[in-house]
Every structure is written in C-alpha cells, then in structure tokens.
Amino acid sequence: MYNKFWWVKWTVWEFLPMWIANIPVYLYVAWFVLRARNLFFFTNVNPAIPLGGAMGESKSGILDLLPKAYLPRTVVVEPGVERTSLDRALKEQGIEFPVIAKPDVGERGYLIQKISTFEDLIVYLNRYPVRFIIQELLQEPLEFSVLFHRFPETPTQGGRFAVTSVCAKEFLKVRGDGVHSIRQLMGQTPRAAFQIARFESEKSDLLEEVPAEGVWVLLEPIGNHARGAKFLNANRLIDAQLNSVFEPLCTQIPGVLYGRFDLKCESEEALRQGLFKIMELNGVLGEPAHIYDPSYGMWRAYRDLYRHWLIIFKLHRVQLKLGIRPSPFYTAWGQIRAYFRYKAFVKDAISHAE
C-alpha cells in the first residue's frame, strides 16, 4: 500500500476495515436477534444452505441447486487430485485455459485466481490443499451482482418476489501514458494503490511494464471489491421486466429465499432478457452491493443494509409460520467452529508454502 493514501483507508467508508464499517450492522443484527429470541434466526431463511449462507458454505453445493443452463462449465477438484484425472475432467467439460480457480469454501475473493496454463493450475492446487472449483473464464464483458428475495406462499398470503439491488462492477485497470510503469500508474489512485502489495507477490513482472499512451491495461479480471473492482449503483435497471426474468429462476432454487447472484452477460439488455451466466450465489450475508458505489454515501448505505436485514427477519418469521425453524444452536455453533478451523488450516498451508 502506498503510504500517501493511508488516510483514505480510515476516512473513506468504502475502504474502511470491515470490522469498523460493520459496527452498525452488528447492532442491526443484535436487534433482530433479540426480537427473534434466537442467535441464528436467519438460518431458516435459506434452509438448503448451511447457516443460511452466512459462512462456510460450499460454493459448488449451492451451484448444484441452480438450473444448469445458467452455469458456466465447472469442475470440482479434491485435494491431491492426479494430473491425469484433472486433465480428463477439464476436457470432458470442454474447459479451456485460461480458467478461474477458487476454493469451494471462501469469502471476499479469497484465493481466487486466473490461471493461464495447466502446469500453473497444478502448481496452484498443490500449494493450497483444499477443495477447489475450476470454472471456465467467461468472456462476457459485463459483471453484475443481483440481490433478490422471495416470500413463500402462506395460507393467508400469496408469495412475493423482488430484486432489491443491482450492482455493476468496473474491473481494475490503468491507462498508459507511454512514460510511467504500471506500478507507478497504480500508485496514482487509492483503489489501485491498495492492490500493489498483492501484485508484487502475484504479478510482479506486470508491474514493471510501461503501456503505450492511451492504452488501457486490464489488471484484474475478477469483479471483487477486495481485488480492486469499483462497485457502481445500477438500481435503475430494477423494474417489472427484470423481476419477471429473475422470479422464475429463483423459484427453481429450493430452500433459498434470499440471495445474491454474481453473474456475467454481454449487455444490460442481455441481463434484462435473462441471457447471463451465474458464477456464484451468496446467501444471507449477500449484501446489497450497490451501496459501495463511491457516490452513494455512508448513511444511505446503512439505511439499505438495515432494510435488507429487516427483509431477512420478516422471511424468518414467515418460515416459522410454515414450521421451518432455524438451525439448533449446537448445530450452528459447530458449523461456525468448523469454518474457523478450516480458515486456520488454509492460513497455515499458505505460511508453509511461502
């Protein structure tokens, strides 16, 4: 990180450390916990996903719930997979390089990487001995996050559905001037400068390149905020047409009433026509990502976060009326402990690999 931007990390809401930025959210959740009289009230909102998708869920397990027509070509790889088995699996699925590799259990872009060759993939998988998902690198130019919820039908009320957040993602890139290196160009803005330390370990050669004047260089093809993507408010796209596209899709996902799709498509019109591929589906901790638009403002963001937790609480209550209860305390607590053991194992594996 460039020291000249240290103040941005502590004064701009978008870049605040999560434990600080989420203090009001912790209070929201505590309020709903008290109202529900259950620490894990949210887990019955998405009973098909462990903990409702709060943490530690299997990404491939969630993708298995989705209609196959919306999914990219995907292979799930166990630790220690043999070269021949991996090669055969990729060819059977028609997956060509480059690919996207990401751990089956992870968060905020953790260990997600674009891999260019089979040999590089073998090295990467051997470095991190956990279950991985290998997906084709989708070529569609636009990436969106779309947040939805649906209320099930009850004896007194029909089901209701709504898309409540659409976020467009702008990938991290720099514009060459024919004079400065990519490292120097990245150092000119906080968003890119915060990624330099990661690039030094992952893409050190790229940092020394000097792009020609006027040439845009895509630095990161993964639309994750933690990896430098800019999130933009695209709620203007929410209308009856968009809801009519997503409602039939979401009703095909059993046991999931609240979630956020991360998807790619050719254009806004393609999105509105349902022509897209879904890379991930996040559960109850899928935030309304449009709030991270730099122009959106902190207070509006906290307002929207409260509204979405209120939706989750209302869904919890509807599920209770249908006889669907939250996970028992000891079950949920055991899943949380297992997830933190997993994170410690991965951290230890990384330290040994380095």
| CA-to-CA separations, 294 to 1, 94, 187, in angstroms, rounded | 20, 39, 19
- Cis before 98? omega within 30: yes
Same domain, 303 and 245: yes
Distance CA 340, CA 51 (A): 14
Report the distance separating Cα 42 and Cα 40, nearest Å. 5
Q: Which pLDDT value is given to residue 157? A: 64
H helices of 128-213, in order, are: 182-186, 190-193, 196-202, 204-207
CB-based burial of residue 84 (10 Å sphere; 0-12 exposed, 13-18 middle, 19+ buried)?
A: exposed
Nearest to 32 by CA among 354, 308, 247, 228: 308
Q: Are 58 and 164 within one domain? A: yes
Same domain membership, residue 286 and residue 260: yes
Same domain as 342, residue 298: yes
Spell out where 108-208 has E strands.
Answer: 113-115, 132-136, 142-151, 160-170, 173-175
Assess contact for 231 and 296: CB atoms under 8 A: no
Cα→Cα distances 164→4, 145, 222, 231, Å: 37, 11, 23, 16
Query: Are 199 and 244 found together in one domain?
Result: no
Dihedral in degrees, nearest 10, Cα atoms 196, 201, 204, 206? -70
Predicted confidence (pLDDT) per residue in 41-68, tens digit: 999 999 999 999 999 899 999 999 999 9
| CA–CA separation, 252 and 286 (whole Å) | 19
Does the predicted model carry a pTM greater than 0.85?
yes
Same domain for 236 and 113: no
**Measured distance CA(11)–CA(246) in Å, rounded:** 37
What are the beta bridge partners of residue 259?
148
Q: How many helices (H) and strands (E) does the chain have?
A: 14, 11
Same domain, 147 and 296: yes
Report the alpha-carbon distance of residue 338 to residue 181 in Å, rounded.
44
Looking at the fold, whether 241 and 323 belong to one and the same domain comes out as: yes
DSSP class of residue 67? -
Q: Please provide the distance, in angstroms rounded to a whole number, between the alpha carbons at the two ends of the chain.
A: 20
Specify whether 327 is located in the same domain as 243: yes
Res 111: pLDDT: 81
pLDDT tens digits, 122-139: 999 988 888 999 999 999
Q: Say if residue 318 is in the same domain as residue 187.
A: no
Q: 177 lies in which domain range?
A: 172-219
What six digits make up the tokens of 36? 């529900």
Full pLDDT tens readout for the chain, 354 residues: 456 788 888 888 889 888 899 999 999 999 999 999 999 999 999 999 999 999 989 999 999 999 999 999 999 999 989 999 999 999 999 999 999 999 999 777 678 889 999 999 999 998 888 899 999 999 999 999 999 999 998 666 667 999 999 999 999 999 999 999 999 999 999 999 999 999 998 888 899 999 999 999 999 988 888 889 999 999 999 999 999 999 999 999 999 999 999 999 999 999 999 999 999 999 999 999 999 999 999 999 999 999 999 999 999 999 999 999 999 999 999 999 999 998 888 877 666 655
The H-assigned helical ranges of the chain are 6-11, 18-21, 23-36, 59-63, 83-93, 118-127, 182-186, 190-193, 196-202, 204-207, 240-250, 268-272, 298-321, 329-353
In a domain, 189, yes or no: yes
Examine the domain organization and report whether 204 and 322 are in the same domain: no
- Is residue 290 in a domain? yes
240 and 149 in a single domain? The answer is yes
